[in-house]
């Protein structure tokens, strides 16, 4: 009887010296309660992990695919203000060239804005803004634009025929992406697109400042192919807007003697 009582008392008491305490069925619970971290991860390690993830995303954005925040109405209804499009930076990196109908993001320095526009700002602020815009968290630089390619090098682009349509190499364009109620252009023009450049326009023609607005300026509204950052292929955010941008929609025959940029859209 004494032995049974002793065993009972020991069964309800704390482990004695040399005895191992029972282990929890949830090994991370103790770490979760610790003051230094969460789930066994110290705050220092969590910070380093966050920095590593940010660097990875910046590298991905710089070389492969970049989210681009749409800041204006110039590409409605294809792209709306606040959309984040995914810009494919590999689209033209291996010899391919922008085609008619491609929705492209480009650096407008020297074509849409003066060479030294915005120079002399706060370097740290510009770097932070550049990092945020590269992740799609802030509006892009004032020199970055998104438009649709209407003419490529060697094309003859004319506005407009008797039906009010833009013609490329004598063939009227069917432009189903135009903003409802908009005409292809209220500004008449006839342009021979130099090789190595693009004639670009917004889908919301009445709200878009594009190649038409820079006629007579240095460059004549033409965007050098080398200034193209990438092709905007998909709307990635918001989720209710997940869809393709319709790159490559219009089609027209290549101009005689046109280079690689004269491919079909």
Contacts (Cβ under 8 Å, ≥6 apart) of 186: 205, 206
Closest CA to 181 of 64, 56, 77, 68: 77
List the catalytic residue out of 74, 111, 208, 249. 74
What is the 8-class DSSP label of residue 11? H
Nearest to 222 by CA among 197, 187, 190: 197
**Whether 97 contacts 136, CB under 8 Å:** no
Q: Could you tell me which of 259, 223, 258 has the C-alpha nearest to residue 109?
A: 223
The whole-angstrom separation of Cα 134 and Cα 140 is 8
Catalytic, 206? Answer: no
Bridge partners (DSSP) of residue 231 are: 88, 104
Which residues are CB-neighbours of 201 under 8 A, at least 6 positions away? 147, 148, 150, 185, 208, 210, 211, 212
Helix (H) or strand (E) holding 52: helix 43-63
Active site residue 74: yes
Longest pairwise C-alpha distance within the chain: 113
Catalytic residue among 61, 89, 133, 147: 147
List 172's β-bridge partners, or say none: 167
Q: Which residues are catalytic?
A: 74, 147
């Amino acid at each position: 009887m004494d032995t049974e009582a002793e065993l009972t008392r020991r069964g309800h008491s704390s482990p004695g010296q040399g005895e191992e305490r029972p282990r929890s069925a949830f090994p991370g619970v103790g770490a979760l309660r610790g003051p230094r971290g969460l789930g066994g991860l110290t705050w220092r390690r969590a910070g380093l992990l966050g920095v590593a993830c940010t660097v990875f995303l910046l590298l991905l954005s710089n070389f492969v695919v970049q989210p681009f925040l749409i800041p204006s109405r110039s590409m409605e209804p294809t792209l709306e203000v606040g959309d984040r499009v995914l810009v494919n930076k590999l689209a033209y990196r291996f010899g391919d060239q922008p085609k008619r109908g491609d929705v492209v993001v480009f650096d407008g320095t020297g074509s849409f804005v003066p060479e030294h526009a915005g120079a002399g700002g706060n370097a740290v602020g510009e770097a932070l803004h550049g990092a945020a815009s590269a992740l799609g968290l802030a509006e892009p630089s004032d020199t970055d634009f998104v438009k649709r390619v209407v003419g490529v090098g060697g094309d003859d682009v004319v506005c407009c025929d008797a039906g009010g349509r833009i013609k490329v190499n004598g063939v009227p364009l069917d432009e189903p992406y135009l903003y409802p109620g908009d005409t292809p252009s209220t500004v008449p023009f006839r342009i021979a697109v130099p090789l190595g450049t693009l004639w670009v326009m917004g889908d919301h023609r009445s709200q878009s400042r594009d190649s038409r607005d820079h006629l007579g300026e240095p460059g004549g509204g033409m965007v050098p192919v080398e200034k193209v950052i990438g092709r905007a292929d998909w709307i990635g955010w918001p989720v209710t807007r997940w869809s393709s941008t319709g790159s490559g929609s219009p089609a027209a025959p290549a101009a005689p003697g046109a280079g690689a940029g004269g491919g079909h859209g």
